[in-house]
Each structure stands twice: as C-alpha cells, then as structure tokens.
Amino acid sequence: MLYGKLSEIPEKEIQALVERGGGELANVNDTVSSILTDVRSEGDAALRKYTQRFDGANIDAIEVSKDEIEKAYKSIDEDLIKHLEIAASNIRKFHEAQMPDKIWFMQLSPGIELGQKVTALASVGAYVPGGRASYPSTALMTIIPAKVAGVRKVVMCTPPGPDGRVNPLTLAAAKVAGADHVYRVGGVQAIAAMAYGTESVMKVDKIVGPGNVYVTAAKMQIRDMAEIDFPAGPSEVLIIADDSAYPEMIASDMIAQAEHDPQAVSVLVTTSEKLAYKVKEEVLKQAQSTLRKEIVSSSLKNAAILIADSIEQCVDLSNRFAPEHLEIMTENNNATLENIEHAGSIFVGNYAPVPVGDYASGTNHVLPTAGYARMYSGLNIMHFLKVSSIQRISKEGLATIGDTVISLAEKEGLQAHADAVRVRFSR
C-alpha cells in the first residue's frame, strides 16, 4: 500500500498509480485474436471447445431454455426475488428519466426547421461475468436500460459453472430484467459469438458489460463488427475526504472495493494526516476479518492512502486519476463536487457508499475504469440509442441559404452539389 504525503512521494510512484493497468491489453491481444478467429470460423463448436477449456464445462445446448430460466427463478427465495424487483424498479426509473424526446424540431428561420429523431438499436448483447462470483446485479444493469430504450432484442451471455449450469440467481435476474435470450458462454468466446453470430447465438449490433482483461481486449478487437460501450476492467474507487469523515466508513469502502478482484484499486486522498493514519489502521484490521481475505490482501497492494495540502489538491489528483467510482466525504461536498471533471459515478456524503450504486440506488454500475472516465461516460440510456438529424425545408427557406450552399460547393469543386440547389429554382 502506498502511504504518505503527496508532496513527499516521488512523482513516478504517483504516475504509476494514475496509469494503473496500463499495457495489460497488449499482453493478451494475440491470445484473444486467436479465439475470436476460431469462433468466427467454427461457430458453436468453438464455443463448446473454449467453454470446456476455460470453464471446465461440457455443454450441449448453448442457449438456456425458458424452462431452465423459469425453474431457476422459482428456486430463489421469495425475499431475494423481492429485492431483485426493488433494484430493478429503481434502475428502470432512473434510466426512464434519462430518455430524451424521441423527436423534436426547432425553427432556425422561416421555412427552415431542424430536428432530431432518436431511435433504439435493433439488438444488444449484455455480457455478465462469472468466475470468482456471480453478478445478477450486472444482468439488471445491462438489460434494463436497453429495454427502457426500446431495443427489440436483448441477449445475455454469462459463463456456466463446471456442471454446465448458469447460476440460478443470475438467470432469475435475467428474467426480471427481460432478457430475450440467455446463452451459457463466457469470456472472449462470448464476445466473439455476439459480434459474429453462431448457429446458436444471434449477432448483435452492440455489446455492453464489464469483464476481465481478456473480455475487454475482445471488445476492443470486434469493433468492426459490433459497437461496444467502453473498456471496463478491474474495479476501483477514489475517496476524497477531510477531517469531518469517519475512518471506519472509509476503510470499509476500501475493503469493499478490494474484495472485487486482486487487481482492484482503492485510493484515499485526504487533507487530514490524522484521518489517513486511522484509516490505514482500520483497513489493516478489517482486512483480517473479511471473508475474501486472500483477494483483499492481494488487492490492497494496489491501494494508496495519500495526504494532500488542500481539497483543491485532492480534486486535482482525482481528476488526474479519473476514477471509476468517486466518493466525496468533505465538509463542503457541493463545492468539491463542482470541481470534479472526470469520474464514472460519484457518491456524495458519508451515507452514499459505492455498493448502493452497485445494487439498488438506480444508477448504473457498468462504468469506465483505468482512467477511461476521462473520455467515456458510464452506461446510460444513450448507449442504446441512435440520433438522426432532420431538415424540413420549404422553397422559401431554401432561398435564404441557397447562395451560401452554392458558393461553398463550387469552392470545393462539387458542381453537382451546387446544381442540386439551382435546379429547385429553375423549374
């Protein structure tokens, strides 16, 4: 764990923290490319081969049947189903609020109306990770916004267990969210299947959802066949706090982030040396009692507790880091929030820990990591929509801009462009 005053830590160590995960995609690109090529040429046969190799499962039917989904749903405790429904309802309400007007017009000048038409994508593939844990919450986060947007076909891929079955809770979440098809395939092979299509898996227009470095590399490589949301890798949190914050809460949030993955990153940057010391003590204490002790222990090697001279310095580091999750626990949260430029999702106040966004507040937990928050937004309703511009122009309206169009077209040497305007006044 990196610990100390920002002013005393060598710049190369801060830079290494900011560049976390850099170069990992390049290390796996050849392996990923080989799997993508196999799936594209061999289809279902390749999916079965790689599922056996990576998940230890021999699968026959690649698509999970409606009966299997229904049985999984009925096997889940009623109280847990109720909580899935509550989370789903909140996610649905938040993303419905994000929906833009489907069509609108403005009058630029008499005879010239400009507008916009918003249309949902035809098909979307949702990737829901497996492996170390099951993620039914990710099924809700990826499928529900697509359905709210009006996507006609939403499919889900998720890896099976060694017995070839998908986690029942993940299947229940897929049913609650409204998935049209569910496939028991994960990893690079799942991304390939949704991008290219196979005998069993339908091709989609866009693929969304988080995954490990192999899944992320696969998403980056198939963009000639299907659009993606953004690169998403190991989870991370950066916390800005002053001496008004509570050390046990901050430590708990850092541990919660650390239990995701050995590569997860937890960072505290604070103006209080006393708080920093107490948080470090509390983190080491809580790490000993957590259930996922080995993962947390590995992850905390990537962690940092940094002491800044001012809140402005804290914010500067946060903007440089561009965290997936940002927590703000300061005396003047609104002022701190005002100066944040880059963050996937922001949690304001002592009672807004990252897990509320992971599960049930309604905001989306599929977010850009590794500094990509500088250029990408977290998953939202616009990821599932296309925007077409509209021009509605009368002859009188065309007359007001015709000379401009003709002049610019002729200057560019495009005579036919100019004639397309002239002909409308020569009849």
Beta bridge partners, 63, equal: 183
CB burial string 117-127: b at 16+ within 10 A, e below: ebebbebbbbb
Active site residue 324: yes
Length of the chain: 427
Confirm if 171 and 69 have CB atoms less than 8 A apart.
yes
Long-range contacts of 251-254 (CB under 8 A, 24+ apart): 251/279, 251/282, 251/283, 251/285, 251/286, 252/282, 252/286, 252/353, 253/327, 253/353, 253/354, 254/279, 254/283, 254/300, 254/303
206 φ, ψ (degrees, to nearest 5): -150, 145
CB burial string 60-93: b at 16+ within 10 A, e below: eebebeeebbeebbeebeeeebeebeebbebbbe
Catalytic annotation, pick one of 24, 259, 282, 324: 324
Query: What residue type is assigned to position 326 of the chain?
Result: L
Q: Rg of the Cα trace of the chain? A: 25
Catalytic annotation, pick one of 260, 325, 342, 365: 325
375 φ, ψ (degrees, to nearest 5): -130, -10
Query: Which region holds residue 210: left if phi is over 0, alpha if psi is between -120 and 50, else beta?
Result: beta
Active site residue 325: yes
Confirm if 194 and 157 have CB atoms less than 8 A apart.
yes
Query: What residue type is assigned to position 149 of the chain?
Result: A
Distances (CA, A) of 145 to 134, 220, 336, 346, 350: 20, 22, 30, 19, 28
Burial class (CB in 10 A: 0-12, 13-18, 19+), 17: buried
Confirm if 136 and 147 have CB atoms less than 8 A apart.
no
Query: What residue type is assigned to position 77 of the chain?
Result: D
> What number of other Cβ atoms are within 10 A of residue 371's Cβ?
21
Catalytic residues: 324-325
